[in-house]
Amino acid sequence: MSADLVALAYLVASVFFILALKGLSSPLSARRGNLFGMLGMAIAVVTTLTITENWMLILGCILVGGSIGAIVAKRVQMTAMPELVAFMHSLVGLAAVFIAIAAVNNPVSFGLPAVLPMGSKLELFLGTFIGAMTWSGSVIAFMKLSGRMSGAPVVFGGQHLLNLVLAIVMIGFGLWFFFSDTTHWTAFIVMTSIAFILGFLIIIPIGGADMPVVISMLNSYSGWAAAGIGFSLGNPMLIIAGSLVGSSGAILSYIMCKAMNRPFLSVILGGFGNDGGDVSADDGAQKTHRSGSAEDAAFLLGNADTVVIVPGYGLAVARAQHAVKELTEVLLEQGVNVRFAIHPVAGRMPGHMNVLLAEAEIPYEQVLEMDEINSDFSNTDVVLVLGANDVVNPAAYTKGSPIYGMPILDTHKAGTVMVVKRSMAAGYAGLDNELFYMNKTMMVFGDAKKVVEHMVKAL
């Protein structure tokens, strides 16, 4: 292909990527958005294969990597999707580092001058250190989410000072690499090594409850790493695709920080895992709760005019979405108005609950975001909370609470609240939930899927 045709093909692929993001902005068009994304990637890959002499080697690597990815994606449970996404981010960052190493080692093969110009060195420096931090940070996120590492923040004295010193040293070696007349491998290797270490140190102090924000943030980092390498390679499609990922990830991180009442700057710098108030939501006093059976819950649901269902991570673990769909259909047949309330950070990643409900073919018009439904809870007869915890905790309105100021679903304002949980254990943030001890609340203990199935039979 001529250079003009290659540029045109990459431009078309980039347009498809933009259309993919547009499609993914709504559940109604998400399937089409995914198709646009796959078509754009197919065009980009085919174009790349036509301009390289090593197309057989590249195609073989794609087949191997694609086969592994297909097998892993097919086997992974929805509950494990967040850690899979974190692991994929790590590979994007590592790929950027490997490309940078190859470009520094043999710039001519990438269409660069034998002696790297300062502009290319700057691009490689940015792509390398962002990619290295993305890889190591994503590995920590993967380990915390998968249970291979404690979700508790890992903190020690002088942690932020150490991070600052390492960052300054990394930038110093980066400047050495940047201003050297020849390729200085010592500066490049030390700079890259420190970046790997910084990735670990920035993520370990972040608590497990904040991992959804970390995933989004690392997604943004991986995009900027790809864009930086795209400048080095003179590849406009890689620049555009990386910028799309980087900017959309940053915007999503900001939205999630707002939903969790977290400072965005603190997220970017890392180490906000133990931010918040200095007063625990649990004062240690003996508390009593009211519990009931699935049959009791079914009776209350069947006699209600309006019901709001709040799905959470417990629903995902139990894979109860199809049972919930059946429950919804039974209630609708009995004239009950049923809707779903979704918190922006419900589950372990943005959109987690939306995907589960869509998988069960629950109509999109029944699924409402927090801002759309929060004002309706005071007029709701019954709220059914399925495995959610922190996103419905009224402690968010208590000054001194670690989650003070975090926007929540105001389920405590409903006439009756029913909470399905396996036990009274605290949520991911490690806080006791005041909602569970209110007089209007009835706890229904058990696996969410089995409990909902019993409700359906009773109805």
Catalogue the active-site residues.
390
- Burial (CB < 10 A; 0-12, 13-18, 19+), residue 56, is exposed
* Residue where the block lists tokens 């801002």: 371
- Strand 416-421: give its sheet, edge to edge: 367-369, 337-342, 306-311, 382-386, 416-421, 441-445
Q: List phi, psi (to 5°) of 415.
A: -65, -45
Give the three-state DSSP class for 120. Answer: helix
Calpha distance 35→274 (Å, rounded): 40
Calpha distance 369→216 (Å, rounded): 19
Are the CB atoms for 48 and 2 separated by under 8 Å?
no
Whole-number Cα distances in Å, 314 to 243, 385, 419, 451 = 35, 10, 11, 12
Are the CB atoms for 195 and 126 separated by under 8 Å?
no
Half-sphere exposure of 337 (CA within 13 A, CB side): 7
Calpha distance 379→144 (Å, rounded): 39
Calpha distance 368→24 (Å, rounded): 17
Give the three-state DSSP class for 136. Answer: helix
Calpha distance 146→316 (Å, rounded): 15
Are the CB atoms for 34 and 20 separated by under 8 Å?
yes
Dig out the tokens for 170 from the structure: 């990394």
- Burial (CB < 10 A; 0-12, 13-18, 19+), residue 71, is exposed
Calpha distance 396→417 (Å, rounded): 18
Q: What is the dihedral of CA 168, 171, 172, 174, to 10 degrees?
A: 160
Residue 181: what residue type? D
| CB burial string 322-355: b at 16+ within 10 A, e below | bbbbebbebbeeeebebbbbbbbbbbbbbbbbbb
